[in-house]
Amino acid sequence: MEPKDVIKAQLMDARDLERTLNRMARQIVEVFSLDESTGDSFGLIGMQTRGVFLAQRLQRIISQVDGIEVPLGILDATMYRDDFRMRFKQPVVKETRIEFDIDGRHLVLIDDVLFTGRTVRAGLDALTDLGRPASVHFLVIVDRGLRELPIEAEFVGRKVPTLPGEEVRVRVQEMDDREGVWLVEYPESKITTS
């Protein structure tokens, strides 16, 4: 959480998150008919920052349950954002590392929260500059509504209608001091976009 946050509700605890990830891993395996040969035609792309950890967990579940190793890349869309002139300070540019050729692959882009759709838009532009995937699908833990672009996620953990002054915080133990999903009141929400 952040200092200014006022918690309104807890949407998921650690076990809920685990169940959701398990279910979405099953969906991915089913939709893409993953088997041992799909290593060359499929890939997970985690969006910085928490999307990366979520993607790693999905990769681990698919490996443990199905015995299938799927490649995983990291994407940072900061350079492609469109809120450039609305900020006082630039966001930190993080690492992009995709060590496989995305041309002709079916990709699942993974992020924690879907809100305005602008981050995904930037992510799609970033991916397009890296190659020409066969298809790109989108997975989020929480879809909080309030879209500003015609974008929808194919794999959704939970749909939570929210108000503009609210924020959804997905927290993962890999980088946060707690795990789960919270709905918070964030007085200066106009500064952030998800």
Partner 1 sequence: MEPRPDETKEEKLSGLKHRHLLGLSDYDAPEIELILETARQFRDVLDRPIKKVPTLRGITIVNLFFESSTRTRISFELSEKRLSADTVNFSASGSSVSKGESLKDTAQNIEAMKIDMVVIRHSSPGAPHFLTRCVDSVIINAGDGAHEHPTQALLDLLTISDRFDSISGLNISIIGDILHSRVARSNIHGLLTLGANVTICGPKPLLPVELDRISESGSLRITNSLDEALEGSDIAMALRIQMERQGRNLFPSTREYHDQFGIQLSHMNQHKDLIVMHPGPVNRGVELASEVVDHERAVILNQVTNGVAVRMAVLYLLSDQNSAE
CA of residue 166 relative to chain centroid, distance: 19
* Cα-based distances in Å from 45 to 12, 107, 155, 182: 23, 7, 14, 24
Q: Closer CB to partner 1, residue 85 or residue 161?
A: 85
Q: How far is the CB of 38 from partner 1 (least distance, A)?
A: 19
Tell me, residue by residue from 133 to 172, as one string, x for binding to partner 1 by CB under 8 A and - for no binding: ----------------------------------------
Is residue 56 near partner 1 by the rule CB under 8 A?
yes
Query: Judged by CB under 8 A, does residue 89 bind partner 1?
Result: yes
96 lies in the site for partner 1, by CB under 8 A: yes
Q: Which sign does the torsion angle of CA 24, 28, 30, 36 carry?
A: negative
Q: Is 188 in the site for partner 1 (CB under 8 A)?
A: no
CA 61 → CA 18, 38, 146, 161, 185, distances in Å? 10, 16, 31, 29, 33
Looking at the chain, how many residues does it have?
A: 194
- Cβ proximity to partner 1: between 38 and 48 the closer is 48
Contact 28, 43 (CB under 8 A): no
Q: Which residues bind partner 1 (CB under 8 A)?
A: 46, 48-50, 52-53, 56, 72-74, 76, 78-81, 84-97, 99, 125, 129-131, 175, 192
